[in-house]
Structure 1
Amino acid sequence: MKVLVGVSRIFVGIFFIISGLIKLNDPVGFSFKLKDYFAPDVLNLEFLAPYALIIAIFVVIYEVLLGVMLILGYAKKFTLWSLLGMIIFFTFLTFYSAYFNKVTDCGCFGDALKLTPWESFWKDIVLLILILVLFFGKHYIQPFFTKRIRSIAVFVSFIFCLFVTYQVLQHLPYVDFRPYKIGANITEGMEVPEGAPKPIFEYNWKFNVNGEEKVVTTNGDYPSVEGEFIGVETTEIQKGYEPPIHDFSMEKEGEDYTTEFLNEDKLIVVIAYSMGNTEREGYSNIKNATDAAIAKGYKVIGLSASSSEVTSTIVGAENLDFEFYFCDETTLKTIVRSNPGILELSKGTILQKLHWNDAEDLKLQ
């Protein structure tokens, strides 16, 4: 039991630290995931949506600190109860998501590692078992170092988490795990390779045969049945290949400009996924950067999920010398964790990606 508690202590502690740091690298992305859970058709907690970022920051810092505290043996009783409460809550959440197929990615490891809902649930079950082992074998958990050193270590960990949080919110994540990272080619990311698995569907055909309902199952072909056709139910039994980049487009007034713009040698893209909560103070930096780009022969456009009327208002108010095109909001949130943010592309390849705070650091040819 002593050995089991020791192994569980190190494993759970490291797991919580790594999981927390990955999400701390991108708290904005984790806040988007929390909003998915707060949606009316999931937990129906819409009143929490405006506070999603604050909740995300609290949860990930708390997660990292619990891992540190467990390994050090700091505030043992508080740490174990906190771990147990957190894992019970997240086990319920992942089971709910998996059983009702509500949120297809729990966001446990941000964009670094995607887990299906059931994978997330079983991961939490394993953690729950290990934490129960720690809980019932807590007398085997002996603290490391002196009380003073443990307190200093926890405090330093807290300050470190605050520093990382400030940096990634004022700039961009240190590590970009998304398909739109610097160096990625958007056109190539949208391609489906030859021979890639295709989705497989199961068709349940319903017929009225001599007054009785008969169901015939096929994988697509219309069955040869003598009877009156009633209807068909289609179920996807195996997902096909999905390219890492999808739902990306550059549209305006019903026209698709995606191919045209992705073939530009020198393209600057300003991304503001929602003009309703865009940070207006960022547009002075954006204007300086885009004006300099235009002067050097760059094509400059904006991408937003807001209506053309709203984007035109912002363009006029901020005296911007470029037009906005439409793109899916979720896609824009994935591209850059800044509203607004700025990208440089060449033939579809992302060369630079900047937070609006750093827009004046845009390096132009």
Structure 2
Amino acid sequence: MKKTKSRLISPLVQVARVIVGVLFIFSGAVKLVDPIGSQYKFEEYFSEGVLNIEFLIPYALKFVIILIILEVALGVALLVGYKSKFTLNSLKIIILFFLFLTWYSAYYNKVTDCGCFGDAIKLTPWQSFYKDVILMVLIFFLSRYNRYIKPIKETLLPGIIIFWAVLISGVIMYIALYHLPIIDFRAYKVGTNIPEGMKYQGDGKIPPIHDFMLEDEQSDLANDILKMDKAILVIASSIEKSEFDGFPEVKKFSLEAQRKGYKVYGVTASFSEIIELTQKNYNLPFKFLFCDETTLKTMIRANPGVIILNKGTIIEKKSWRDLDDIEL
């Protein structure tokens, strides 16, 4: 009887193990290429209008880095059978945390996109919740039949695989944090034509690019700028939160671009007093236009960062750290 039960349960355990492990690795992987996006998402969760734990907002990025690394490491650990009891207990804690967030988002309609799979796959709050319910059931099933999970080899190999998974994840995240995401899943990726992205599709869905504006004190200049052959947008979504070391680099780049015939505009969601103070302190050779902060954060993860346009098509995006790599 026990052997019959074992023959039935063991294959189910292995299938569930692969499903859970792969989903956690995928979830972590699509977020580690863009940890800033996950930071913004958790800042939204921590905000006054959602969970009202604003004291955690300054720690959002650290929290995201730890969470992403854990997702990848635990997913890999489950697949290679490393310390299965500890791994599954850790997965229980994480899935219960996710389950609460997705339920809260769905029930109170607070955060319309949980960011479970970054910007790669968009799920509604209820879809995210049901996905986490299924994962929770699978994890508790695996925990019940933990004895059927064996290491791929009774050597140091499982630990070595996890070490390399964490190391590679850390390198990818470092690149994304100090430069730009190595894969861009957003509507403003290089090669995108912004005017085309603003058009409604035949089914009446909201276009992928919306709330795009470039306003001065009098009017929206977006249409004019999107028609230019050589236009540069210096994006500083929130000047007060900018990396101020970047402004001298931006100034040098902007002057060179203007000498080569480019029209350069700053774009921010900050107030005029902060704009004037920043322009004075760094002697920036361009004026600032206004755009919604969420839109600017979506356009580029750097603050400040640069986007180069040719007749509305994004031909280059760079963090301020990489402006020397641009050939004008």
Q: TM-score, normalised by structure 2?
A: 0.96
Matched, 1:132 2:140: yes
Amino acid of the structure 2 residue aligned with 1:250: L
* Structure 1: segments with no counterpart, 5+ residues: 198-240
CA distance in structure 1 between the partners assigned to 2:223 and 2:241 by the alignment: 29
Deviation (angstroms), 1:99: 0.8
> Greater shift after overlay, 261-270 or 151-160?
151-160
Correspondences of 1:253-272 after superposition (within 5 Å): 253-272=217-236
Describe the superposition over 1:220-267 as per-residue Cα deviations: whole angstroms up to 9, x where unpaired. Answer: xxxxxxxxxxxxxxxxxxxxx111011110001141111111111100
2:213 corresponds in structure 1 to: 249
Alpha-carbon distance between aligned partners in 2 of 1:156 and 1:146, rounded to the nearest angstrom? 18
2:267 aligned with 1:303: yes
Instruction: State the one-letter code of the partner of 1:196.
Output: D
Matches within 5 A, 1:288-327: 288-327=252-291
1:251-285, CA deviations, whole angstroms, 9 ceiling, x for partnerless residues?
01141111111111100110000011100111122
Of the candidates 357, 361, 364, which is equivalent to residue 321 of structure 2? 357
1:115 to 2:123 alignment: yes
Counterpart AA for 1:145: K
Corresponding position: 1:55 with 2:19: no
Match of 1:149 in 2: 157
Q: Which residue does 1:339 correspond to in 2?
A: 303
Distance in 2, matches of 1:269 and 1:54, equals: 29
Are positions 1:68 and 2:76 aligned together?
A: yes
Structure 1 residue 159, shift from structure 2 partner? 1.3
The structure with the greater share of residues assigned to helix is 2
Aligned-partner SS, 1:102: coil
Deviation at 1:160, TM superposition (A): 1.2
Q: SS in structure 2 opposite 1:280?
A: coil
In the alignment of these two chains, the number of paired residues is: 320
Q: Tell me, in whole angstroms, the C-alpha distance in 1 between the residues paired with 2:327 and 2:279.
A: 23
**Alignment-derived partner of residue 188 in structure 1:** 196
Q: Does 1:36 align with 2:44?
A: yes
Give me the whole-angstrom Cα distance separating, in 2, the residues matched to 1:39 and 1:319.
Answer: 34
In 2, Cα distance between equivalents of 1:159 and 1:284:
33
The aligned residue for residue 15 of structure 2 is 7
- What secondary structure, in the 3-state scheme, does the structure 1 residue paired with 2:99 have? helix
Offset of residue 196 of structure 1:
3.1
In structure 2, the partner of 1:178 is 186
Q: List gaps (5 residues or longer) in structure 2.
A: 1-8
Distance 2:53 2:85 in 1: 31
Q: Which residue of structure 1 aligns with residue 111 of structure 2? A: 103
CA contact (8 A) 1:286 1:360 kept: no
Indicate the residue corresponding to 1:286 in structure 2: 250
Aligned equivalents of 1:114 and 1:132: distance in 2? 26
**Cα contact 1:13–1:71 (8 A) shared by 2:** yes
Q: How do 1:11-30 residues align onto structure 2 when only pairs under 5 Å count?
A: 11-30=19-38
Q: Do residues 348 (structure 1) and 309 (structure 2) align?
A: no
Distance 1:312 1:295 in 2: 24
What is the one-letter code of the residue matched to 1:66? L
- Return the alpha-carbon distance in structure 1 between the equivalents of residues 102 and 50 of structure 2: 12
Distance 1:323 1:279 in 2: 19
Cα offset, 1:129, TM superposition: 1.1
Tell me, in whole angstroms, the C-alpha distance in 2 between the residues paired with 1:355 and 1:274.
Answer: 15
Runs of 4+ in 1 over 6 A off after TM superposition: none
- Structure with the higher fraction of residues in strand conformation: 1
CA contact (8 A) 1:341 1:353 kept: yes
Rg comparison, structure with higher value: 1
Could you tell me how far apart the structure 2 residues matched to 1:153 and 1:192 are? Answer: 46
SS in 2 for 1:252: coil
Q: Secondary structure at the match of 1:268?
A: strand
Aligned AA (2:65): I
Equivalent position amino acid for 1:25 in 2 = V
What is the rounded CA distance, in whole Å, between the counterparts of 2:307 and 2:100 in structure 1?
39
Residue 276 of structure 1 aligns to a residue in which SS?
helix
- How far apart are residue 319 of structure 1 and its match? 1.6
Amino acid corresponding to residue 71 of structure 1 in structure 2:
L
Quote the offset at 1:286 in angstroms.
1.2
Pairing 1:169–2:177 present:
yes
Q: Which secondary structure state, in structure 1, belongs to the residue aligned with residue 223 of structure 2?
A: helix
Q: TM-score, normalised by structure 1?
A: 0.86
- Equivalent-residue separation in structure 2 for 1:346 and 1:316 (angstroms): 29
User: What is the deviation of 1:41?
Assistant: 2.1
Equivalent residues of 1:249, 1:327 under 8 A apart: yes
* Alignment root-mean-square deviation, CA: 1.0
- Looking at structure 1, the residues matched to 182 and 170 of structure 2 have their Cα atoms a distance apart, in angstroms, of 14
